């Protein structure tokens, strides 16, 4: 049917899908570094050679990544019990990084779950974490052990300084002795062995004590009458050692890692100080060679860190710019999912750019990161709140559409085609006005509603397809009946003729409906044929009216309609009788009026007409009283 074709167009589009929430770019590594670099988790001294940069500890850190966060404090406690604190720095730093990486991920998960359930970022508070408290307590214990060790080591350095000062005094005494040369030289060698065996001295005294020692060693060789062969042998050995140190230092110039090269150079300088003098002719040249390599390495080291400072400053400026752009996205709140999607993509692009930028200066790194992360979190919190509202609205829309489905399913069983069609069209219009539903239920609820609508319209189509065939048949029957009425030849018996007219009328009413477009034409042709027949038979208007009335009540009086029809006739009869009485009472008033005769005659005509109508109504009542309902 046309109505079905028109209104099923409502279903060409489906409910809009709610765009799923996307996650931010992963900043867990940067958050881990910041969390692990808090003041209480820092180791203050830099006297050992363990590199604590997280990037350089990846093998050690990876060894602990496979452990659960709960297991890491136990591992740290065991290390503190079994190993010396001076050997633990690398492992402790690796455990710290692994612990805070896991803690950061857990905290972010808690935050997201809280937001999904409550929707308010401001209300979120991190719960107390007993594991972190225990870890910090163990780390504080570790720092205390290191601090105690540092005090002990400083005292040892002071003791070492005293021992080395004593050796210098003994060396001075050798210069004044006049014993056998071999005895003096043997004592000198023992002093050198003892000197090398003594550990480090305080940093501030290191150069001074070495200069004094070296001065006295060289003076010993110059002043004391040492066997030339032994002295040359000793000088040659020292020359070879110092030459090797020069070569190693020059090799460091070829290293890409200038930080490691610089640290290696410090070791070479310590070794240089422990090597004895060389021949006077080589002293300056060797030292200049070693010093030149040292100067170049120092310059590369200095330039590297200066460049690092410049790069970090530039990185900081770039990160500040990203912060500003991220904050600009918060200036206006989108009201449509498409706008949220566009802004979210811009923010994700900013986050990806952030990941490509290197470190900022340490004193600024924490602040700028938290500023950027705060802007990102605020954006995603607002977006999450928006989609939570959308989700609630989608659930409400789902319930509305389920209600429409239930109504449509009830209507789908109806055979009141016109009324039900109108009602279903209204339901379809309501469906179009309702917003999207949750994506998972979208297809199911749409199919349910469409199935109910299609069921009714298919039934209606099938019904009217049958009706169309019946309408064609009825059209043919009515046209044949009209032709038969027109061709009817009356007999000499009036009663037979009236009976024939009644039969024609009965047959007409018994034939069902034809197509609506033929109704007016058929009805007009039928009335003309019947009226022509009545006139030909000289049937009075009263008889004609009674025949029509009887035909009507015999053929089309609905069940239970007899009482209603009688009530209408009785009411009409009372109305006529009341009019007659009124007109009869009013005739006397017209006697003295101008044109009285004309007025009186008009009233009498009305009375006469009403009395004929009374008689006709009474006859109709008699016919109705004797009528038997089929």
Which tens digit of pLDDT belongs to each residue from 86-103?
777 778 888 888 888 888
Q: Do 448 and 372 share a structural domain?
A: yes
Quote the DSSP letter at residue 361: P
In a domain, 63, yes or no: no
Q: Do 423 and 540 share a structural domain?
A: no
**Is the pLDDT at 202 greater than 50, yes or no?**
yes
**Is the pLDDT at 227 greater than 80, yes or no?**
no
**Is the pLDDT at 19 greater than 50, yes or no?**
no
| pLDDT, position 106 | 82
Looking at residues 322-351, what average pLDDT do you find? 88
**Is the pLDDT at 404 greater than 50, yes or no?**
yes
In a domain, 361, yes or no: yes
Q: H or E stretch including 251?
A: helix 228-252
Looking at residues 490-496, what average pLDDT do you find? 75
* 297-324: burial string, b at 16+ Cβ within 10 Å, e else: beebbeeeeeeeeeebeebbebbbebbe
Q: H or E stretch including 345?
A: helix 337-356
**Is the pLDDT at 37 greater than 70, yes or no?**
no
In a domain, 514, yes or no: yes
Lowest mean pLDDT among 157-171, 287-301, 332-346, 582-596: 582-596
Which tens digit of pLDDT belongs to each residue from 236-270?
888 999 999 999 999 999 988 998 999 999 888 88
Domain count, the chain: 3
With pLDDT > 70 as the criterion, what percentage of the chain qualifies?
A: 82
Burial class for 495, CB neighbours closer than 10 Å (0-12, 13-18, 19+) = exposed
d(CA 200, CA 89): 20
Considering 246-255, 483-492, 538-547, the range whose residues carry the highest mean pLDDT is: 246-255
**Is the pLDDT at 51 greater than 60, yes or no?**
no
**Is the pLDDT at 439 greater than 80, yes or no?**
yes
In a domain, 523, yes or no: yes
**Is the pLDDT at 46 greater than 70, yes or no?**
no
User: Residue 630's domain spans which residues?
Assistant: 560-630
In a domain, 366, yes or no: yes
* Alpha carbon separation from 590 to 145, 291, 587 (Å, rounded): 136, 152, 5
**Is the pLDDT at 615 greater than 90, yes or no?**
no
Q: Do 580 and 527 share a structural domain?
A: no
Nearest to 549 by CA among 617, 494, 459, 465: 617
With pLDDT > 90 as the criterion, what percentage of the chain qualifies?
A: 16
In SS3 terms, 482-523 reads as HHHHHCCCCCCCHHHHHHHHHHHHHHHHHCCCCCHHHHHHHH
| pLDDT, position 403 | 92
Looking at residues 108-134, what average pLDDT do you find? 76
d(CA 193, CA 207): 19
**Is the pLDDT at 298 greater than 90, yes or no?**
yes
| pLDDT, position 519 | 82
Model confidence band, residue 425 (pLDDT cutoffs 50, 70, 90): very high
Q: Do 496 and 457 share a structural domain?
A: no
**Is the pLDDT at 13 greater than 50, yes or no?**
no
Boundary of a domain, candidates 556, 573, 607? 556
Q: Do 504 and 454 share a structural domain?
A: no
For the chain, how big is the Rg over CA atoms in Å?
57
**Is the pLDDT at 177 greater than 80, yes or no?**
no
Q: Are 294 and 343 a contacting pair, CB within 8 Å?
A: no
Which tens digit of pLDDT belongs to each residue from 550-603?
766 665 666 666 777 778 888 888 888 888 888 877 776 666 666 677 777 777
Q: Do 625 and 530 share a structural domain?
A: no
| pLDDT, position 35 | 57
Boundary of a domain, candidates 556, 586, 611? 556
In a domain, 154, yes or no: no
Q: Do 503 and 432 share a structural domain?
A: no
Q: Do 571 and 446 share a structural domain?
A: no
d(CA 319, CA 321): 5
| pLDDT, position 54 | 37
Model confidence band, residue 6 (pLDDT cutoffs 50, 70, 90): very low
Residues 214-219: contacts with CB within 8 Å, 24+ apart?
214/273, 214/277, 216/168, 216/171, 216/172, 216/175, 217/171, 217/192, 217/276, 217/277, 218/277, 219/175
In a domain, 185, yes or no: no
3-class DSSP state of 148: helix
Q: Do 612 and 520 share a structural domain?
A: no
| pLDDT, position 480 | 87
State pTM to two decimals. 0.48
| pLDDT, position 148 | 86
* 78-109: burial string, b at 16+ Cβ within 10 Å, e else: ebbeeeebeebbbbbbbbbbbbbbbbbeebbe
Comparing 406 with 391, the larger pLDDT belongs to 406
Model confidence band, residue 120 (pLDDT cutoffs 50, 70, 90): low
Boundary of a domain, candidates 408, 432, 465? 465
**Is the pLDDT at 123 greater than 80, yes or no?**
no
Q: Do 501 and 581 share a structural domain?
A: no
| pLDDT, position 175 | 76
3-class DSSP state of 15: coil
| pLDDT, position 595 | 66
Nearest to 217 by CA among 162, 284, 273: 273
| pLDDT, position 22 | 43
Q: Do 444 and 344 share a structural domain?
A: yes
In a domain, 228, yes or no: no
Model confidence band, residue 122 (pLDDT cutoffs 50, 70, 90): low
Q: Do 447 and 334 share a structural domain?
A: yes
Looking at residues 423-430, what average pLDDT do you find? 91
> CA angle, 201 as apex, 198 and 206 as ends, to 5°?
115
Largest CA distance in the chain: 188
Lowest mean pLDDT among 39-48, 249-258, 305-314, 417-426: 39-48
Return mean pLDDT, the chain: 79
């Amino acid at each position: 049917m046309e109505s079905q074709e028109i209104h099923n167009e409502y279903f060409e589009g489906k409910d809009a899908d709610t765009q799923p929430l996307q996650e931010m770019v992963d900043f867990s590594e940067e958050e881990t570094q910041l969390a692990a670099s808090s003041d209480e988790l820092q180791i203050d001294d830099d006297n050992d050679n363990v590199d604590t940069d997280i990037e350089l500890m990846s093998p050690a850190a990876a060894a602990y990544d496979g452990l659960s966060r709960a297991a890491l404090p136990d591992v740290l406690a065991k290390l503190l019990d079994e190993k010396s604190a001076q050997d633990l720095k690398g492992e402790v730093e690796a455990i710290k990084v692994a612990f805070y990486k896991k803690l950061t991920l857990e905290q972010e998960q808690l935050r997201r779950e809280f937001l999904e359930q409550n929707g308010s970022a401001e209300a979120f508070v991190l719960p107390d974490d007993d594991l972190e408290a225990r870890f910090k307590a163990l780390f504080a214990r570790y720092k205390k052990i290191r601090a105690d060790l540092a005090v002990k080591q400083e005292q040892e350095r002071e003791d070492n300084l005293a021992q080395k000062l004593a050796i210098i005094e003994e060396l001075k005494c050798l210069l004044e002795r006049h014993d056998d040369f071999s005895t003096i030289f043997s004592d000198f060698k023992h002093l050198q062995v003892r000197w090398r065996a003594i550990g480090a001295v305080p940093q501030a005294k290191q150069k001074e004590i070495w200069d004094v020692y070296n001065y006295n060693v060289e003076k010993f060789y110059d002043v004391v009458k040492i066997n030339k062969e032994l002295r040359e042998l000793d000088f040659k050995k020292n020359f070879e050692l110092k030459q090797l140190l020069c070569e190693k230092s020059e090799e460091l110039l070829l290293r890409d890692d200038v930080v490691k090269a610089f640290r290696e150079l410090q070791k070479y300088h310590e070794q240089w100080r422990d090597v004895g003098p060389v021949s006077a002719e080589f002293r300056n040249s060797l030292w200049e060679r070693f010093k030149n390599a040292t100067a170049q390495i120092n310059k590369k080291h200095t330039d590297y860190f200066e460049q690092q400072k410049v790069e970090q400053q530039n990185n900081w400026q770039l990160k500040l710019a990203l912060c500003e752009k991220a904050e600009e996205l918060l200036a206006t709140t989108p009201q449509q999912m498409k706008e949220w999607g566009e802004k979210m993509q811009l923010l994700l692009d900013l986050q990806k750019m952030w990941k490509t930028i290197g470190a900022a200066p340490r004193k600024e790194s924490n602040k700028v990161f938290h500023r950027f992360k705060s802007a990102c979190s605020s954006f995603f919190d607002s977006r999450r709140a928006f989609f939570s509202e959308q989700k609630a609205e989608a659930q409400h829309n789902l319930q509305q559409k389920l209600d429409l489905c239930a109504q449509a399913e009830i209507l789908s069983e109806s055979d009141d085609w016109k009324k039900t069609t109108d009602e279903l069209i209204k339901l379809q219009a309501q469906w179009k006005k309702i917003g999207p539903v949750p994506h998972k239920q979208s297809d199911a609820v749409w199919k349910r509603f469409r199935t109910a609508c299609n069921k009714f319209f298919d039934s209606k189509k099938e019904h009217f397809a049958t009706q169309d065939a019946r309408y064609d048949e009825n059209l043919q029957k009515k046209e044949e009946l009209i032709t038969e009425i027109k061709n009817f030849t009356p007999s000499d018996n009036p009663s037979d003729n009236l009976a024939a007219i009644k039969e024609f009328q009965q047959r007409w009413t018994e034939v069902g409906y034809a197509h609506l477009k033929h109704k007016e034409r058929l009805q007009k042709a039928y009335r003309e044929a019947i009226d022509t027949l009545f006139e030909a038979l000289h049937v009075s208007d009263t008889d004609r009216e009674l025949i029509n009335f009887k035909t009507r009540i015999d053929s089309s009086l609905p069940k239970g309609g007899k009482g209603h029809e009688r009530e209408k006739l009785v009411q009409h009869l009372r109305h006529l009788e009341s009019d007659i009485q009124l007109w009869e009472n009013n005739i006397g008033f017209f006697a003295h009026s101008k044109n009285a005769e004309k007025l009186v005659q008009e009233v009498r005509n009305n009375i006469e007409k009403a009395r004929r109508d009374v008689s006709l109504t009474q006859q109709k009542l008699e016919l109705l009283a004797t009528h038997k309902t089929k």
